[in-house]
Amino acid sequence: MLDIHSKEVVGASLEGWLAHAGDANDAWHLRYFVIREDVLFCFNDEFGTARGAISLLGFKVRSAEDEIKEKCAIKLYHMLDGRAHFLVAPDKDSAHNWIRALSKSTMPRWGSTILRPSMGSIQSMAVDSLDEGTPALVL
């Protein structure tokens, strides 16, 4: 687990409860998710320590109702390596809000804490806790 508590993630663009499955055949688990900039954090509850976090850069987001036969289902999948996560929102409005917020977070933005101009080029500033040694959304 990451040593980050949900209330320490300030400036979240969206947070709330979603059901999660690693793929379409996994068991569903209710988790508390927080999006901040291009990072999706996952918690057991809204006051707990993070179970995991992933950078959303390189992911695509779409409705997955047709794929997993769940209402309000969302598929988050990586364009290069094919990793996929399935989420289910409590209602259609919430699913729409999550799809919109996740989609916005998949694109790098100037002025974010991740990408900043540096000496005429873009310097990537990786978040230490999200390096390859950290489990990617172990839920």
- The answer regarding whether domain 6-126 maps to CATH 2.30.29.30 reads yes
Bigger pLDDT: 35 vs 113: 35
pLDDT band at 138 (very low <50, low <70, confident <90, very high): very low
CA 121 to chain centre: 27
Per residue, the 3-state secondary structure of 56-72, as one string, reads CCCEEEEECHHHHCCCC
Bigger pLDDT: 25 vs 121: 25
* Predicted confidence (pLDDT) per residue in 70-117, tens digit: 899 999 999 898 888 999 999 999 999 999 999 999 987 655 544 333
Bigger pLDDT: 116 vs 32: 32
pLDDT band at 120 (very low <50, low <70, confident <90, very high): very low
Sequence spans of domains, the chain: 6-126
Contacts of 54 (CB under 8 A, 6+ apart): 39, 40, 130, 136, 137
Q: Is the per-residue pLDDT at 30 higher than 80?
A: yes
Give ∠ CA 37-16-134 in degrees, rounded to 5: 55
